[in-house]
Amino acid sequence: MTAKPLKNRKDSSNVSYHRVSDEEAGQRLDNFLLRVMKGVPKTRIYRAIRRGEVRVDGGRAAASRKLGAGEAVRLPPLRRPETEAPRSPDAARKAILGRIIFEDERLLAINKPSGMAAHGGSGVSFGAIELMRQARPDLAYLELVHRLDRETSGCLLFAKRRSALRSMHERLRENAVEKRYLALLAGRLDTGERRVDAALVTNLRRSGERMVGVDPDNGKRSVSTFRPVQAYPAATLAEVRIETGRTHQIRVHAAHIGHPVVGDEKYGDRALNRDFRRLGLKRMFLHAQSLSFERPGGGETLCISAPLQSQLRELLDRLEAGDAGGLR
């Protein structure tokens, strides 16, 4: 069933109405409102639901109500903050368009640079999702499928349809998405492929900085597999596959086995990081190399790959040429 669109009509009290599309069907009412009424405080939206200011097909509805295609949602004229959300610089919006590495009718992927947050918040006005929404106003729906640490570069996937987001989240829950990373690890990883099954827990330091650590009793199960690709002086290039997607998982697991990620300022080897900075490494060497999964809406396997940033390629070229600046 294809829902008939409602024109953006308003009554005398500035109430507007939204017809639920096929893509929006199945979404909770509260989540739907948080998306279509961006900028309105969450507490105000829930108050409007409780008071019956928001209605579905003319009747009151609970926040947990799952919307159906074709239903009409009454949207009250809730006041938004006076200040508009900051717009990202034109150069940043243009740059993110140049980072698109895959797009079809359901999904879009970029090669996220190190230093860019996946989304805004915690002092970040806008991240990759906000940039892409502003750069692609033609997309009526765009949401993150997963996240990457701000310091990690590589494959970042967006859903252009709600059905695609649901499908990809189901694949992630079922461990049906193969995620491969490239990481430069401190020292020699001479044991061959190594599987790390170590539960992780997130703690907060007194300063408020988020830290993750191994905790077999209270942590969540976390699994990473490290496979050496190339040995260099003082470091090993490794391919990493993860079966779970915990915060800072690869970084903490690498440090846990005594081979922290080079350039990692939080869990890494500070002295070694200084040595690699002299070789031109100004970031953490962790890159989301590829994502492989069954394509939503089709049976074939899709593999999306993101090339290494030039800074990382140049460092590897320098190490392969034997120019290690005294590292051993």
Catalytically active residues are 149
**Which of 24, 288, 281 is CA-nearest to residue 180?**
288
Please report how many Cα atoms fall inside a 13 Å half-sphere around the Cα of residue 131, on the Cβ side. Answer: 25
Amino acid making up residue 13: S
Residue 24 makes CB contacts below 8 A (sequence gap 6+) with 32, 67, 69, 162
Instruction: Please return the burial class of 308, using the count of CB atoms within 10 Å of its CB with bins 0-12, 13-18 and 19+.
Output: middle
- What contacts 24+ positions apart, CB below 8 Å, involve 10-19? 13/77, 14/77, 15/74, 15/75, 15/76, 15/77, 16/74, 16/75, 16/77, 17/72, 17/73, 17/74, 17/75, 18/72, 18/73, 18/75, 19/70, 19/71, 19/72, 19/73
**Are the CB atoms for 196 and 226 separated by under 8 Å?**
yes
**Are the CB atoms for 154 and 111 separated by under 8 Å?**
yes
Amino acid making up residue 271: A
| Distance, CA of 101 to CA of 108 (rounded, Å) | 8
Tokens of 197: 């099954």
**Which of 151, 159, 158 is CA-nearest to residue 113?**
151
DSSP at 300: S
**Whole-Å CA distances, 108 to 111, 160, 187:** 11, 7, 37
